A and B are shown apart, each in its own frame.
Chain A
Amino acid sequence: MQKPNAIAADAITAGAQPPARSWLSKALEGRNTLGGLFMLPAAAVLLIFLTYPLALGVWLGFTDTTIGRPGQFIGLENYEALWDDTVFWLAVFNTLLYTSVASVFKFALGLWLALLLNERLPFKAFIRAIVLLPWVVPTVLSAIAFWWIYDAQFSIISWALIQIGLIDAPINFLGDATNARASVIAANVWRGIPFVAITLLAGLQTIPQSLYEAATLDGASSWQRFRYITLPMLTPIIAVVMTFSVLFTFTDFQLIYVLTRGGPVNATHLMATLSFQRAIPGGQLGEGAAIAVAMIPFLLSAILFSYFGLQRRRWQQGGRDA
Chain B
Amino acid sequence: MSTLNPPGAADSGQSDNDGMRYLDSGMRRLVTVYLPLTVFMIVLLFPFYWMAITAFKPDHQLTDYKNYSPFWVWDPTMRHINYLLFETSYPHWFWNTIVISVAATAIALACSVFAAYAIERLRFTGSRYVGLGIFLAYLVPPSILFIPLALMVFKLGLYDSPFALILTYPTFLIPFCTWLLMGYFRSIPFELEECALIDGATRWQILTKITLPLSVPGLISAGIFAFTLSWNEFIYALTFIQSSENKTVPVGVLTELVRSDVYEWGSLMAGALFGSLPVVILYSFFVEHYVSSMTGAVKE
A interface with B by C-beta (< 8 Å) = 1-2, 5-6, 8-9, 12-13, 16, 20, 23, 27, 30-32, 34-36, 38-43, 45-46, 49-50, 52-54, 56-57, 60, 65, 109, 112-113, 116-121, 125, 127-134, 136-142, 144-146, 148-149, 151, 153-154, 156, 159, 190, 193-194, 205, 209, 212-213, 216-217, 219-222, 225, 247-248, 251-254, 257-258, 272, 275-276, 279-280, 285, 288-289, 292-293, 295-296, 299, 303
**Cβ–Cβ < 8 Å partners of A16 in chain B:** 194, 198
Consensus secondary structure, chain B interface: helix
Min CB–CB distance B19 → chain A (angstroms): 5
Pick the contact of B18: A35, A151, A221, A279 (CB < 8 A): A221
**Cβ–Cβ < 8 Å partners of A213 in chain B:** 6-9
> Can you offer 15 A-B residue contacts whose CB atoms are under 8 A?
A5-B190, A8-B189, A13-B194, A36-B118, A45-B167, A49-B152, A57-B148, A127-B41, A141-B272, A142-B47, A148-B269, A156-B70, A212-B19, A213-B7, A295-B141
Pick the contact of B130: A12, A39, A41, A121 (CB < 8 A): A39
Task: Tell me if B47 and A209 are in contact (CB < 8 A).
Answer: no
Task: Tell me if B197 and A41 are in contact (CB < 8 A).
Answer: no
Task: Tell me if A45 and B8 are in contact (CB < 8 A).
Answer: no
| B114 interface residue (CB < 8 Å to A) | yes
Min CB–CB distance A238 → chain B (angstroms): 18
What separation, in Å, do the CA atoms of A253 and B12 have in the docked complex? 56
**Cβ–Cβ < 8 Å partners of B3 in chain A:** 118-120
Task: Tell me if A42 and B234 are in contact (CB < 8 A).
Answer: no
**Cβ–Cβ < 8 Å partners of B47 in chain A:** 134, 142, 145-146, 149, 190
What separation, in Å, do the CA atoms of A13 and B276 have in the docked complex? 50
What separation, in Å, do the CA atoms of A203 and B26 have in the docked complex? 27
Taken residue by residue from 149 to 167, chain B's Cβ proximity to chain A (1 for < 8 Å, 0 otherwise) reads as 1111000000000000001
Task: Tell me if B140 and A116 are in contact (CB < 8 A).
Answer: no
| B110 interface residue (CB < 8 Å to A) | yes
With A113-B40, A136-B279 as contacts: A20 and B143 at CB distance below 8 Å: no
Min CB–CB distance A60 → chain B (angstroms): 6
**Cβ–Cβ < 8 Å partners of B275 in chain A:** 138, 141
**Cβ–Cβ < 8 Å partners of B77 in chain A:** none
What separation, in Å, do the CA atoms of A42 and B174 have in the docked complex? 7
**Pairs A-B, 5 closest by C-beta atoms:** A35-B124, A213-B6, A38-B118, A251-B141, A42-B115
A129 (CB) vs chain B CBs: closest residue: B287
Pick the contact of A35: B111, B122, B143, B145 (CB < 8 A): B122
With A5-B189, A50-B171, A216-B19 as contacts: A292 and B40 at CB distance below 8 Å: no
* Interface residue ranges of B273-300 to A (CB < 8 Å): 273, 275-276, 279-280, 283-284, 287, 291
Task: Tell me if A116 and B37 are in contact (CB < 8 A).
Answer: yes
* Interface residue ranges of B38-56 to A (CB < 8 Å): 40-41, 43-45, 47-48, 50-51, 54
